[in-house]
A and B are shown apart, each in its own frame.
Chain A
Amino acid sequence: MSPQEQWIALTTIIRKEIHRFMRIWVQTLVPPVITMALYFVIFGTLIGSRIGEMGGFNYMSFVVPGLIMMSVITNSYSNVVSSFYSAKFQHNIEELLVSPTPNYIILLGFICGGVARGLMVGLIVTVVSLLFTKLHIQHLGITVAIVLMTSILFSLMGFVNAVYANSFDDISIIPTFVLTPLTYLGGVFYSISLLPEFWQGVSQLNPVLYMVNAFRYGVLGVSDINISFAFAGVAVFIVALTVYCLHLLKTGKRLRA
């Protein structure tokens, strides 16, 4: 395929992916916004006022970046895992597999779909958060870069999950039993400086901690971890997962007989 044809194939996949989650917006866009709004009310306003300061900021200001990041992570992942698995389940993934579209375009298309939903939900949650607190972004470049890289990373993880999944149960196991605990324990609601030294060490094994803190650094200018290390770690994971996803597509794992 010529570069122009590849571009057309890519934009077709992206358009299809965006159309998919916009068509079912009540399922894809509304629930995370309601959930996050409840977090803002309960943790930010009601309980937060009794917690006092965290990391030098009032609790609402502290928790908002973490909650935005949490919505980006879960929605990027969910979009790719549900879309790709549904395409497998209904066999319409074969439309792409029989076409001349190269594997990297297929992967890029689904990842862009995941990123689009992650960023859209993140943006809506950010707008909702402005009803509760003011956001003065300290480092715009870092904020945009880390949110983009995080949504790419979790879209790739969703893709791997979808390839291996054999049932709809399989696509909810990882988000429920892995993603949610990692996110909740990834410094969304607290600074790890509050933890005993041992648990601080354990927390540093959680990759979500680095993304949440890098994003919080971009917004508030404070972080529990080294930002350069966070970016390097996310970049390495993105490269490794991209190579692995392309390998899965090339070998046709669970896609071709």
Chain B
Amino acid sequence: MSVALSIKQLSKTYDNGFEALKGIDLEVKEGDFFALLGPNGAGKSTTIGVICSLVTKSGGKVSIFGHDIDTDFAAAKKELGIVPQEFNFSQFEQVRTIVVNQAGYYGLKKSLAEERADKYLKQLGLWEKRHTPARMLSGGMKRRLMIARALVHEPHLLILDEPTAGVDIELRRSMWEFLQDINAKGTTIILTTHYLEEAESLCRNIAIIDKGNIVENTSIKALLKTLNKEVFVLDTREALTAAPEVEGYQLKLVEEHSLEIEIEKGGSLNEVFESLTRSGVHVVSMRNKANRLEELFVSLVNGSADKTEKAEVKA
């Protein structure tokens, strides 16, 4: 399996002296569905900006399917489709024109460009709006328009920078299905998102970036295995005034019908339910308190912050 994206010692220092990337290395395999996560200002958008040449790098190498973005930029760009965070199309042009023109910039003949534009506008539910000026679209439609535009030259690597930001749940789910479908057909996808549930549901591998450094780069499965505890919320039929005692477990009363319990890796919920039943408490429903990936993300980013602080103290 070839490498879709290779980043070596990538660094970027802006004119104001801000060091956005501090020599990161990253490799994404062909066919992967890859998540690039990080808090605001961590360097995600700078990384994507360098890959698609909207940001000039200070150092390092980037290649897309083996094509160096400096020496073989045309071939590299043909392999890449980009869906940016902000809307970046002309608000006055019609939906179909935007997509057809983008195909033209990649050298596609008009007949093929129109055929592809129609195909993706239909797949993304924009066919009825094809003659509508872009400014008249809803936020969700604008996001889908940017996906159609990014796919019109049929790139092998698609990068989406927070594609579902501000999109309602139903539409988000349909976009997930669409992305899973094109990934299954062979398109490598890199996704940045603030919805960690999105990364957990869609992606196989993940890199977490913080303060210009990659602080974790592994598979989602391997990352989740490192979690040694989970917090569950139990909804009870009975109204409670205090948390019941369960030997070996710490329960916390959140509301009169709601308990929180932390389960260590290897712990058994059966013991908890049996004990609660003996105490006359019946659990009617149960859920994870927080997204598991979110907990890991917070701990990794906080860990990175602690390291930085310690280094600064030593210095």
Contact = CB atoms under 8 A, between A and B. Distances in A.
Interface of A: 1-2, 4-6, 8-9, 11-13, 15-16, 19, 23, 86-87, 90-92, 94-102, 252, 256-257
Given A90-B90, A92-B88, A94-B84, A8 B55 contact: no
Contacts of B149: 95
Nearest to B46: A257
A86 B93 CA distance: 13
A9 to B, nearest CB: 5
A257 B89 contact: no
Candidate in B49, B54, B109 with the most chain A CB atoms within 10 angstroms: B54
Contacts of A94: 54, 84, 88
B107 A2 contact: yes
B91 A252 contact: no
Nearest to A96: B105
Contacts of A6: 107
A139 to B, nearest CB: 38
A70 to B, nearest CB: 28
Contacts of B91: 90
Interface in B105-138: 105-110
Contact of A100 (B88, B101, B106): B106
Interface residues of B, number: 34
B74 A9 contact: no
Nearest to A2: B107
The 5 closest A-B pairs by CB, nearest first: A5-B107, A12-B104, A99-B105, A91-B88, A100-B74
Contact of B88 (A5, A95, A102): A95
A34 to B, nearest CB: 24
A1 B52 contact: no
A11 B102 CA distance: 12
Contact of A97 (B54, B74, B78, B102): B54
Given A92-B89, A100-B77, A257 B107 contact: no
A14 to B, nearest CB: 10
A145 to B, nearest CB: 30
Contacts of B14: 257
B56 interface: yes
Contacts of B249: none
20 contacts: A6-B107, A8-B108, A8-B110, A9-B104, A12-B104, A19-B97, A90-B90, A91-B86, A94-B54, A94-B84, A95-B88, A95-B101, A97-B54, A98-B53, A99-B102, A100-B75, A252-B56, A256-B56, A257-B46, A257-B54
Given A90-B90, A100-B78, A9 B107 contact: yes
Contacts of B89: 90, 92, 95
A12 B107 CA distance: 9
Contacts of B53: 97-98, 256
Contact of B82 (A19, A90, A98, A252): A98
Contacts of A257: 14, 46, 49, 54-56
Contacts of B92: 23
Given A91-B86, A98-B77, A100-B78, A11 B104 contact: yes
A6 B108 CA distance: 10
Candidate in A19, A91, A101, A257 with the most chain B CB atoms within 10 angstroms: A257
A180 B53 CA distance: 38
A8 B107 CA distance: 5
A92 B90 contact: yes
Nearest to A91: B88
B109 A8 contact: yes
Candidate in B14, B91, B102, B149 with the most chain A CB atoms within 10 angstroms: B102
B80 interface: yes
Interface in B63-91: 73-75, 77-78, 80, 82, 84, 86-91
B86 A95 contact: no
Nearest to B103: A12
A32 to B, nearest CB: 21
Contacts of B105: 9, 12-13, 95-96, 99-101
Given A11-B104, A91-B87, A95-B101, 14 more contacts: A1-B74, A8-B108, A8-B110, A13-B104, A16-B101, A86-B90, A90-B88, A95-B89, A95-B105, A97-B53, A100-B105, A100-B106, A101-B105, A257-B46
A86 B90 CA distance: 9
